Amino acid sequence: MRTSRALASPAPSPQEIGRAATLALHDELALSPKPGLVTLTDRGSHADMDAHTFMRSLFALRSYFVRIAELGAAQAPFEALEACGIAAEARMLAATQGINTHRGAIFMLGLLCASAGSLAARGLRPTVDGLRHTLTQRWGEALARRALRPSALPGGQAASRLGLRSASAEAALAFPTLFETAVPALRAARSRGLASGPARLDTLFATMAVLDDCNLAHRGGLAGLRFAQGCARDFIAAGGAGRPDGLAAAAALGAEFVARNLSPGGAADTLAAACWLDRLG
Ligand SMILES: CC(C)(COP(=O)(O)OP(=O)(O)OC[C@H]1O[C@@H](n2cnc3c(N)ncnc32)[C@H](O[C@H]2O[C@H](COP(=O)(O)OP(=O)(O)OP(=O)(O)O)[C@@H](O)[C@H]2O)[C@@H]1O)[C@@H](O)C(=O)NCCC(=O)NCCS
Ligand SMILES: Nc1ncnc2[nH]cnc12
């Protein structure tokens, strides 16, 4: 039972929290095949970035996740987290020559690391309930205000235009897709005995099936988002990555996504967040 394990192990340090975030972003990058997304061997639907771009970004961010966990441990206000995130985004853009590889991950995993830091400072391990309660109690009002602010990003603007739930809106609700879909999907896949790769692929597809991924909406409109969600539902319904032709089916979907310039970046970040929590145990 995770609960007993959660009570038995000591709370993670900010260094352990932050390191798990960097490793989780690599877990996501290294997963293959991934429809429309960048892997170690494939650019997906991206002419402007590849694995090298993501690796440079990853290295530029490794101190950020530790720092924001420390801010969480210090019970810092949202403004301090935001300033830390914006500085990290500048370091990411400097490392990638201006390419947006992890803006959403800086936001999502940054908030999660801060929440885990806040819990750890009280001797508590990062459980789903503890993380969601901390997000809401510590920074919920600021996140709700942020979600109401017009977005400067193409995805956020698409979300507003199409009535979708943006990354900011997910955060203001304490990441329902992460904690109610992605984390349970990863745990269920592992309990079925799936290896890390297929388990993470099933998690990615389960997330794609339900997330209002604003990258998909920005790139393919509502039709593109609904196409991707339908493909993901069909993939899971057909048995997911664990079936004999699962990886071939996922690779075939990749060609469909690239033909439509679709890339589920929001689902990729949500998968990374599920890998982060899995790494922290
Ligand atoms: C904090 C913000 C980032 C919130 O942004 P907002 O809510 O306004 O806009 P969204 O587009 O909804 O989200 C921004 C990024 O988050 C990922 N994402 C998309 N949908 C969701 C979702 N439903 N739930 C969670 N996360 C979501 C996604 O990021 C990933 O994809 C990007 C790479 O893909 P790509 O297609 O290349 O993206 P683009 O470059 O935009 O497109 P092209 O030009 O290539 O066509 C990459 O970012 C991944 O991480 C969304 O892109 C925003 O308010 C902000 O930046 N605030 C300032 C910083 C701050 O306050 N930080 C706080 C630290 S605690
Ligand atoms: N592997 C990936 N490819 C494209 N966009 C992403 N956003 C986050 N991870 C990504």
Q: What is the whole-number distance in angstroms between the Cα of residue 223 and the centre of ligand 2?
A: 21
Pocket of ligand 2 contains residue 92 by CB under 6 Å: no
How many angstroms separate the CA atoms of 271 and 204, rounded? 6
Of all residues in the chain, what percent carry a pLDDT higher than 90?
Answer: 96
Cβ contact 35:253 at 8 Å: yes
Euclidean distance between CA atoms 118 and 48, whole angstroms: 37
Which residue has a Cα nearest atom 58 of ligand 1?
86
Q: How confident is the model at residue 5 (pLDDT cuts 50, 70, 90)?
A: low
Q: Whose C-alpha lies nearest to ligand 1, atom 39?
A: 100
Is 114 part of a structural domain of the chain? yes
Overall average pLDDT of the 91-109 stretch = 98
Q: Is the CB of 131 under 6 A from ligand 1?
A: no
Measure 105 CA to ligand 2 centroid, in angstroms: 9
For residues 28 and 30, what is the distance between their CA atoms, to the nearest angstrom? Answer: 6
Indicate whether residue 229 lines ligand 2 (CB < 6 A): no
Find all residues with CB under 8 Å of 219, minimum gap 6, and list them. 45, 260, 261, 262, 263
The closest residue, in CA terms, to atom 5 on ligand 2 is 265
Ligand 1 in reach of 168 Cβ (< 6 A):
yes
Q: Quick one: which atom of ligand 1 is closest to the CA of 84?
A: 64
Residue reference for tokens 């309990």: 191
Residue 1 lies in a domain: no
pLDDT, tens digit, 9 for 90 and up, residues 43-66: 999 999 999 999 999 999 999 999
Handedness of CA 134, 148, 103, 161 (dihedral sign): positive
pTM recorded for the entire structure: 0.97
For the stretch 213-246, pLDDT in tens is: 999 999 999 999 999 999 999 999 999 999 999 9
ipTM of the predicted assembly exceeds 0.90: yes
Atom 27 (ligand 1) nearest CA? 266
DSSP string, 1-14: -HHHHHHHSPPPPH
Which are the contacts of 270, defined by CB distance < 8 A and separation ≥ 6?
A: 108, 175, 177, 178, 182, 207, 211
Structure tokens of 36?
Answer: 């429309």
6 within domain boundaries: no
Any domain includes 2: no
Report the number of distinct structural domains present in the chain: 1
Pocket test for ligand 1, best of 214, 216, 219, 276 (most atoms within 8 A of CB): 214
- 5 in any annotated domain: no
| 3 occurs within a structural domain | no
Report the sign of the C-alpha dihedral through residues 36, 66, 202, 248, in that order.
Answer: positive
Is the distance from the beta carbon of residue 38 to the nearest atom of ligand 2 less than 6 Å? yes
Query: What residues make up the domain containing 82?
Result: 12-280
pLDDT digits (tens, 9 = 90+) for 179-188: 999 999 999 9
* Pocket lining: 265 vs ligand 2, CB cutoff 6 Å: yes
CA nearest neighbour of 85 among 38, 130, 136, 143: 143
Q: Does position 7 have pLDDT exceeding 60, yes or no?
A: no
123 has a pLDDT exceeding 60: yes
